[in-house]
């Protein structure tokens, strides 16, 4: 049966059979985070990427075999960064170019698919990716490259509501999996390279109606919305012109493009924000809040309760958009964040007070350390790209070599935390860049960088490394090096395992305590997504989306050339223990 509703929906008979026993997803279910399903991005609101399941463990993982594989099909085979969600026997997985598939989680049979109709002239920064969907009630909700939100019926794939986030022609887009927090749908925006204004928004997930909107650039007004959708001024974000000079805040970037986390204990949602605009820091003196920051927002009011800026006055595109992990350390609720800038930060989840900061990559040239009293970096000023107005011809500032590169010590690839080992597992990358500043002015819909760059490897034998860290001491417990950059996330389980994928096409399982490789499988294309696991009956399943792409082949410079042999693709692979 074929139906069209402002997009392409294809359903098949098994969808109606599964609908007969479907149950809606509630906030209570999401907070309980059942190990039998995967009903939230990052495997839970705390984004720990952890499962307490032990059916598959360090002793038997060598017996993992494919259960099924599903191809996304067509010619749209690139940049598959999605993490699947699983509920009531269905898997929901997004693909590149704003597609979503519903599959039978046990067999891989397609139930339906929806293909969002994308306009010409879109300007996504970092490939045509999508990182996953949210489940609530009987809906599956995902964001699109042209900056819309689409809510579909889980059983049929029919559109229930659709809402525009912002103007794609101005550079706005959306790629992150939405967050469900206290019954609200909480999302950010992407597009910092185009001079957009970052913000976090909360909606009623059943209708798409706005509840509150919070800009993440200082000087903009936040709003709440009444039942009729009328905007009511809430409060300004920070103080106008306090950390931005003149009108520079008007195109300030700070896009929270990689999704958020939520802690019911603090009633806060946590988002990392992106780079300020433009990259040329000499055009915008000051700290430039709330760019390159962690922001903690009251989920009821939309007000910023605390913030911590990891890279004040960023001049290297060191977004702080990497995930904010919530965990308990010494009886205190704590946030953990491995930043693009190469430092790992631990903050009090209630107050934002910096508890510790340490490097998780070997080479950092922009700062020597983080001052634990002030929370500010100890700058190495000679490694800031030069002011082009002081150059010989005014067209290019002095070139500096900086590490990490702007692709980051870590980027969108999620780290994992295991409460069993009390270790973090970080997919890190060792690379640097030659970077220089150039003159630039804002033009709607055009790139707003004011910088040039070439990314370079640092070591001959590896770029990526999966590293295990003790957060209390900052000590690296073990590492496994990888020749190509790591761009896919990690998952830890109570079975003493860590799973992660490589661009060379391997899904691997390591001993969580020692890093010893215990199993691997070649999926035929690079992995740039995060694995998940769930249980049905007496069987534990492990799944990962495969398909090389993302920012590395687009922006990677010399590194991109080194990995140009890697093949694109688009599929999801599911594994279980052999009988």
The pLDDT score that the predictor gives to residue 564 is 87
**Residue 41 in 3-state DSSP?**
helix
Per-residue pLDDT of the chain (579 residues; tens, 9 = 90+): 223 334 545 444 444 444 434 579 999 999 999 999 999 999 999 999 999 999 999 999 999 999 999 999 877 788 999 999 999 999 999 999 999 999 999 999 999 999 999 998 787 888 899 999 999 999 999 999 999 999 999 999 999 999 999 999 999 999 999 999 999 999 999 999 999 999 999 999 999 999 999 999 999 999 999 988 899 989 999 999 999 999 999 999 999 999 999 999 999 999 999 999 999 999 999 999 999 999 999 999 999 999 999 999 999 999 999 999 999 999 999 999 999 999 999 999 999 999 999 999 999 999 999 999 999 999 999 999 999 998 777 789 999 999 999 999 999 999 999 999 999 999 999 999 999 999 999 999 999 999 999 999 999 999 999 999 999 999 999 999 999 999 999 999 999 999 999 999 999 999 999 999 999 999 999 999 999 999 999 999 999 999 999 889 888 888 888 888 888 999 999 999 998
Per-residue pLDDT, 77: 80
The residues with which 132 forms a beta bridge, in sequence order, are: none
Instruction: Count Cβ atoms below 10 Å from residue 522 Cβ, excluding itself.
Output: 11
Measure the CA angle with vertex 504, ends 501 and 508; round to 5°. 30
pLDDT of residue 19: 44
Q: Which residues of 533-557 are buried (b: 16+ CB within 10 A; e: fewer)?
A: bbbeeeebbbbbbbbbbbbbbebbb
Q: What is the pTM of this model?
A: 0.95
- Residue 523's nearest CA partner among 484, 575, 455 is 575
- Give the DSSP per-residue string, 53-91: --SS-TTTGGGEEEEEEEE--TT--S------EEETTEE
Residue 168 CB-density burial (10 A; 0-12 exposed, 13-18 middle, 19+ buried): buried
Looking at residue 10, what is its pLDDT? 47
Instruction: State the pLDDT at residue 348.
Output: 98
Structure-token pair, residue 236: 């300004």
Specify whether the CB–CB gap between 218 and 238 falls below 8 A: yes
pLDDT value for 303: 97
pLDDT at 553: 86
Q: Find out whether 571 and 547 touch, Cβ atoms under 8 Å.
A: yes
List domains and CATH numbers for the chain. Answer: 2-577 (2.140.10.10)
The residues annotated as belonging to the active site are 317
């Amino acid at each position: 049966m074929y139906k069209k509703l402002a997009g392409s929906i294809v359903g098949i008979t098994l969808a109606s059979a599964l609908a007969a026993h479907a149950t809606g997803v509630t906030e209570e279910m999401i907070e309980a985070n059942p190990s039998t399903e995967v009903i939230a991005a990052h495997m839970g609101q705390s984004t720990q990427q952890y499962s307490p399941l032990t059916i598959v463990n360090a002793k038997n993982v060598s017996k993992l075999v494919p259960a099924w594989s599903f191809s996304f099909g067509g010619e749209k085979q690139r940049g598959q960064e999605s993490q699947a969600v699983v509920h009531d026997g269905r898997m929901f997985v997004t693909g590149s170019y704003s597609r979503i598939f519903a599959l039978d989680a046990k067999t891989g049979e397609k139930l339906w698919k929806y293909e969002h109709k994308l306009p010409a002239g879109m300007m996504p920064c970092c490939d045509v990716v999508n990182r996953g969907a949210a489940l609530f009630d009987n809906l599956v909700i995902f964001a699109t490259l042209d900056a819309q939100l689409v809510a579909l019926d889980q059983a049929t794939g029919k559109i229930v509501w659709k809402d525009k986030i912002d103007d794609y022609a101005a550079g706005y887009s959306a790629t992150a999996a939405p967050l469900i927090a206290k019954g609200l749908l909480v999302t950010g925006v992407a597009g910092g390279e185009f001079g957009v204004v970052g913000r976090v928004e909360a909606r009623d997930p059943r209708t798409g109606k706005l509840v509150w909107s919070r800009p993440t650039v200082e000087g903009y007004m936040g709003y709440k919305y009444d039942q009729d959708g009328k905007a009511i001024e809430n409060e300004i974000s920070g103080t106008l012109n306090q950390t931005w000079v003149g009108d520079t805040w008007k195109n300030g970037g700070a896009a929270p493009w990689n999704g958020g986390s939520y802690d019911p204990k603090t009633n806060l949602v946590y988002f990392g924000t992106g780079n300020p605009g433009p990259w040329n820091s000499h055009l915008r003196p000051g700290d430039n809040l709330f760019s390159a920051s962690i922001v903690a927002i009251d989920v009821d009011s939309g007000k910023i309760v605390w913030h911590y800026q990891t890279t004040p006055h960023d001049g290297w595109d060191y977004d702080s958009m990497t995930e904010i992990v919530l965990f308990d350390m010494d009886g205190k609720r704590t946030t953990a964040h491995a930043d693009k800038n190469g430092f790992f930060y631990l903050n009090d989840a209630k107050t934002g007070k910096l508890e510790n900061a340490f490097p998780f990559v070997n080479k950092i040239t922009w700062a020597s350390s983080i001052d634990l009293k002030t929370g500010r970096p100890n700058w190495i000023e000679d490694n800031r790209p030069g002011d082009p107005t002081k150059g010989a011809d005014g067209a290019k500032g002095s070139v500096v070599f900086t590490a990490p590169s702007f692709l980051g010590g870590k980027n969108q690839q999620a780290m994992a935390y295991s409460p069993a080992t009390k270790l973090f597992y970080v997919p890190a990358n060792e690379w640097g860049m030659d970077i220089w500043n150039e003159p630039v002015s804002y033009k709607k819909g055009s790139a707003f960088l004011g910088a040039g760059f070439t990314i370079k490897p640092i070591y001959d034998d590896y770029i990526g490394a999966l590293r295990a860290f003790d957060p209390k001491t900052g000590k690296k417990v073990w590492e496994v090096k990888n020749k190509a950059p790591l761009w896919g996330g990690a998952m830890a389980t109570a079975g003493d395992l860590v799973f992660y994928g490589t661009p060379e096409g391997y899904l691997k399982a390591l001993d969580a305590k020692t890093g010893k490789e215990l199993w691997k499988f070649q999926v035929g294309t690079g992995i740039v997504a995060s694995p998940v696991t769930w249980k049905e009956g007496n069987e534990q399943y492990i799944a990962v989306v495969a398909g090389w792409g993302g920012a590395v082949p687009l922006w990677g410079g010399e590194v991109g050339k080194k990995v140009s042999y890697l093949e694109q693709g688009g599929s999801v692979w599911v594994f279980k223990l052999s009988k």
